[in-house]
Structure 1
Amino acid sequence: MVGINSTVAYTLDHKRVVLTLEERFLLIDYEYSSSGSTLGCFSSVACINSSFHSSIRHESIVYYNIIWAELASARAQTQLLCLRIDYCIVKNDLKATFSRSSFLVDGSEEQNCRAFTEALMNRAYRNTIRCKRLLVLINPFGGQGKATDRFLKLSLPIFDAARCHVDQIKTEYKGHAMDLIENMEGLEDRYDAIVCCSGDGIPHEVFNGLSKRKNAGLAFRVPVCQLPCGSGNALCVNLVGSNDLPFATLSTVKGVPIPVDLCSLTQGDKRYVTFLSQALGMIADCDLGTENMRWMGESRFTVGLVMRVLSRAKYPCEVSVRIAHESRSQVRRAYQEDKSKNHERYDDSVDAEAVASRSLPSLRYGTINDPVPEDWKIINTSTLAIFYAGKMPWMSSDALFFPAALPRDGYVDLVLIDSAIPRLEVLSILLNVQEGKHFDSKQIHYYKVDAYRVTPKAHSGFISIDGEKFDFTPFQVEVHPSLGTVLSRTGFYQAPGV
């Protein structure tokens, strides 16, 4: 017996192993004799002369990467037990591979090893719950039609190892996920998270489905997350820091719920919920006008953008904004002040009945059909190149368009770029978007706003909301602080900030 923080075991080929619970990881020490023989013995394994000089090989597994550990009978008619540990091998680029290690334990060490195993599990799930109940919505048309196969091959084995309860539903038509979420009975009590195995279109539908439920206030507390299986996987990149499917699956197993701002968008007589972005101009054109290039994956956005910059595309419109922070120094100061507040998680003591009584929040600034409030700034332009508003930092894995965005600061980050800027300067700005360095460019306008309105002046074009095509008509957006919930890897967005 070694103690609850360590245990002695043997590999399947009888090499002696000491497993130790360190502060941040499980340490595994493999012991070898100088002659290559194994060291030590126990009752059900033949003893080897242990007088030889020994050497030790060290391995470690970060607790976050450990999916499950259990002790079970190893072989019939023996006193051996088997300690099995399921985990992910995670590389520096946040790409993961599912793996499993098994060790033999003498029956006389069962009590100590069970205590060790439970202590290991407590560390592995220190900040989250075990055995999550997951509703997985799969878009079978996403990821060039490979979403279902990729989920079954790369995600389901990890969920099974984590003892997650998984209900899978394949969407059959546009809007199907919204209909499912709006009408599903007992959704709030049945699931710990809604997992979108798709691009960003299914999360958009899910948030809108939640908004249509009678108890929307409570429904919005069900966390939403994404397994990256589409051409745009911004939600996953922001929450996980990677668009690797196995790592995103691990992050779902270990994720913690955090509140996030959502936005209402009114257009015509309709009201929608948007969680990610709103765009008009080059960005919308690249998002929606490159459908014939979907085979290129995320690269289609870059190719489409370069084509439009070179052609000096212009998008005349009127932009009305309620600006909270206008200068770059104000935005940076606001980011630093709000960053610490944005690390807070849900208070489980919140009165559930009070939350459930709230429907979708009322609109503070009216709808697109109301007059523009007098304190809003109005920008009339005939040379706008890019109108882009976002609630998350990353718009794709290589586009840190809104580096100052926070989960719940109550603002939308807004970027305006004029087509009068020299083409090489525009290309330079867009190249810097990959690392968020465009933030300091004097050629762009970067605001934090809590509401705005856009009125296109052209007869036709594209408006992209969360990557989805909307009518090319005026629309208005306002922020609802901390309305939604997402499942985050660490409790905040995976972005460097400003």
Structure 2
Amino acid sequence: MTTSAADGVRDPFRDSSAEGREYGSSEGSTLNVGRNATLTLGMDSLIVLDEDTIERDASNCCGLIPSSKHLCIPHKNADMYLTQRHIGNKATRAIPFYNILWANINDYSTASEIVINYAHPISKSCVRTKSLAYAVDKADHRHAEAWTESLLDCAYGESQRRKRMKVLINPFGGKGQAKKYYDRDIAPIFTGAWCEVDVERTQYSGHAVEIAQQLDTDRYDVVACCSGDGLPHEVFNGLGRKRDARRALRKIAVVQLPCGTGNAMSLNLNGTDSPSLAALCIVKGLRTPLDLIAITQGDRLMLSFLSQSVGIVAETDLATEHLRWMGSQRFTYGFLIRLLGKTVYPCDVAVAVEIGDKAAIRDAYNAAVSSKAAPSSRSSSCSGEITEGDDPADLGLPALKFGTVQDALPEGWKLVPYDKMGNFYAGNMAYMSANANFFPAALPADACADLVCIDGDISRRAAIGSLSAVETGAFFDMPHVHYRKIKGYRILPKQRRDGYISIDGERVPFEPFQAEVLAALGTVLSRSGRGYEARGP
């Protein structure tokens, strides 16, 4: 799998919250430990200066390096390895604060010990838990405790420490490797960070909906899905069925540990589809509001967090289930077959457009991502606490401003025939799969979905060019790509009875449906607290 990051993307192991700190200039930033060894809080790293480091290798519980190549979007030009050099007879190395999982002082009858757990990169797509241990002089005990707290402040910044996680493992998704990935790649990271973890395997399709609906939201901070994108979809919908759905969706951060065929959620929020790197990102993740999309079809209502598609993308995804053995290549194969056939999907469409001009969309995106507001100020709105004005008796899902698909067309909407529709694709995140940044202007909580429409009768050359342009970043500016920011839409498929409609990668009946953006209703964990780990338009 190849990397598709924008040039100049920041080092994923650089602690952005540490920028501007100058701990190295303060005497209190250094802790003398062991024999002729020191630990120093640097600008963005822990500096270890030692002759004889006592290092505990946790590889016995972490297993071997994954055989598959994982995508790490932010890591294209980054040095993933801890720096190490020699000063005189002493070895010194820098462990980025982002890699620090936990630190604590162990007190024994005759001595004390400081233990530091950290994520050690063994490749550009894999980390393993290791520990450093040093004796601490009893006379330095108070300073050691204060120094340890400062280290944790540097390591976590605004991120919550020791997150309480409900981990759901889908043993059937993808190639059936989720349990293996969890035990080998993920669990040691959570253990090293002293997270509180409750693990449960899903037993059947829809089981995660039931688990989330019955979840005691006061016991957990995070629901982590070891799966593809299907399990997060179920969890959002399960939380949405609770009587206090709005509180539950604000209180519980839903995250993905990439263990399936489609790992778009992790690619967008963590910048990787590596299980171990995603686990580290979740440990350090910042609470981030997420728009959700309410979908009504018939008398059914569901929540979508990722995408909705009618046409070539839906058919490529859902009609190639029998080709799962091909991995992500099945999508490319199915896409090309239908492109070359110039398949069209006639429908009637009504859209509530917020921004219809590409230049204005680009300006809005740039303004949002350049905002200097602190991540914590954004995340406060998704704490789950009932604020002034909230009615505890009315915390279910918000009322739909546009009604349902069974209601009359909303005021100002107009159904337009679209007989040559090739691809109707609405996205709430940027990456839809590895290397497929279909929605570069997407933002987690801008109260809009991004809509792409492409005619089905464009030339084969243009169609194939569209496929490659998604990977290169040229897709947004292609003249035949109609890109809009929208608040909602209604689509009525025509002629065919056996077509495909995909909601977050799950098939729904080939019938009319309506979508409406529910602003900042959900909560996730992200690296930055601001946007997706993707190149913008």
| Residues 378 and 92 (structure 1), Cα distance of their counterparts in 2 relative to 1, 3 Å cut | farther
Match of 2:518 in 1: 480
Could you tell me whether the CA contact under 8 Å between 1:31 and 1:54 is conserved in 2?
no
Match of 1:60 in 2: 94
Query: In the aligned structure 2, how far is the partner of 1:369 from the partner of 1:109?
Result: 71
Match of 2:298 in 1: 268
**Alignment partner for residue 166 of structure 1, among 179, 197, 203?**
197
Query: In the aligned structure 2, how far is the partner of 1:342 from the partner of 1:231?
Result: 34
Match of 1:412 in 2: 449
Match of 1:121 in 2: 152
Match of 2:379 in 1: 345
Match of 2:334 in 1: 304
Report Cα offsets for 1:228-260 as digits up to 9, x if no partner: 011011111111011111111111111111111
Report Cα offsets for 1:122-170 as digits up to 9, x if no partner: 2212212222111111111123111012111211111112111111111
Letter of the 2:503 counterpart: I
Match of 2:13 in 1: none
- Stretch deviating more after TM superposition (371-380 or 448-457): 371-380
Summarize the alignment of residues 360-439 of structure 1 with structure 2, pairs less than 5 Å apart: 360-439=397-476
Could you tell me whether the CA contact under 8 Å between 2:344 and 2:457 is conserved in 1?
no
Query: In the aligned structure 1, how far is the partner of 2:431 from the partner of 2:243?
Result: 32
Letter of the 1:399 counterpart: A
The number of residues matched between the two structures is: 468
Offset of 1:206 from its aligned partner?
Answer: 0.7
Letter of the 2:310 counterpart: L
Report Cα offsets for 1:431-473 as digits up to 9, x if no partner: 1112432001111100111010111112221100000010011
SS state at 1:295 partner: helix
Tell me, yes or no, if structure 1 residue 317 matches structure 2 residue 341: no
| Residues 342 and 56 (structure 1), Cα distance of their counterparts in 2 relative to 1, 3 Å cut | closer
Offset of 1:309 from its aligned partner?
Answer: 1.0
Quote the sequence identity (%): 41
Offset of 1:211 from its aligned partner?
Answer: 1.0
SS state at 1:129 partner: coil
Normalized against structure 1, the TM-score is what? 0.89
Could you tell me whether the CA contact under 8 Å between 2:248 and 2:384 is conserved in 1?
no
- Stretch deviating more after TM superposition (80-89 or 311-320): 80-89
| Residues 337 and 375 (structure 1), Cα distance of their counterparts in 2 relative to 1, 3 Å cut | farther
Report Cα offsets for 1:256-292 as digits up to 9, x if no partner: 1111111110001111111110001111011111111
Query: In the aligned structure 2, how far is the partner of 1:437 from the partner of 1:96?
Result: 33
Match of 1:25 in 2: 45
Query: In the aligned structure 2, how far is the partner of 1:3 from the partner of 1:355?
Result: 51
Letter of the 2:458 counterpart: I
Query: In the aligned structure 2, how far is the partner of 1:437 from the partner of 1:56?
Result: 50
Normalized against structure 2, the TM-score is what? 0.82
Question: Alignment RMSD, CA only?
Answer: 2.3
Could you tell me whether the CA contact under 8 Å between 1:217 and 1:355 is conserved in 2?
no
Offset of 1:91 from its aligned partner?
Answer: 7.5
Query: In the aligned structure 2, how far is the partner of 1:335 from the partner of 1:397?
Result: 22
Offset of 1:349 from its aligned partner?
Answer: 10
Tell me, yes or no, if structure 1 residue 280 matches structure 2 residue 280: no
Unaligned runs of 5+ in 1: 33-52
Letter of the 1:494 counterpart: E
Summarize the alignment of residues 196-211 of structure 1 with structure 2, pairs less than 5 Å apart: 196-211=225-240
Tell me, yes or no, if structure 1 residue 133 matches structure 2 residue 152: no
Could you tell me whether the CA contact under 8 Å between 1:218 and 1:352 is conserved in 2?
no
Match of 2:67 in 1: none
Letter of the 1:259 counterpart: P
Offset of 1:55 from its aligned partner?
Answer: 4.1
Report Cα offsets for 1:397-452 as digits up to 9, x if no partner: 21100000111111110001112211121111111112432001111100111010
- Stretch deviating more after TM superposition (405-414 or 142-151): 142-151
Match of 1:102 in 2: 133
Tell me, yes or no, if structure 1 residue 497 matches structure 2 residue 536: yes
Query: In the aligned structure 1, how far is the partner of 2:374 from the partner of 2:400?
Result: 23
Offset of 1:377 from its aligned partner?
Answer: 4.5
Offset of 1:396 from its aligned partner?
Answer: 1.3
Could you tell me whether the CA contact under 8 Å between 1:208 and 1:272 is conserved in 2?
yes
**Alignment partner for residue 225 of structure 1, among 233, 255, 273?**
255
**Alignment partner for residue 265 of structure 2, among 235, 245, 269?**
235
Tell me, yes or no, if structure 1 residue 456 matches structure 2 residue 493: yes
Match of 1:8 in 2: 32
Letter of the 1:60 counterpart: A
| Residues 92 and 448 (structure 1), Cα distance of their counterparts in 2 relative to 1, 3 Å cut | farther
Match of 1:42 in 2: none
Report Cα offsets for 1:94-139 as digits up to 9, x if no partner: 5433222233444443333333222212221221222211111111
Tell me, yes or no, if structure 1 residue 69 matches structure 2 residue 100: no
Query: In the aligned structure 2, how far is the partner of 1:373 from the partner of 1:456?
Result: 18
Query: In the aligned structure 1, how far is the partner of 2:346 from the partner of 2:124?
Result: 41
Letter of the 2:166 counterpart: L
Report Cα offsets for 1:320-372 as digits up to 9, x if no partner: 11111112112112223344379522245964472643211111111111222
Letter of the 1:8 counterpart: N
Offset of 1:3 from its aligned partner?
Answer: 4.6
SS state at 1:135 partner: strand
Query: In the aligned structure 1, how far is the partner of 2:489 from the partner of 2:263?
Result: 26
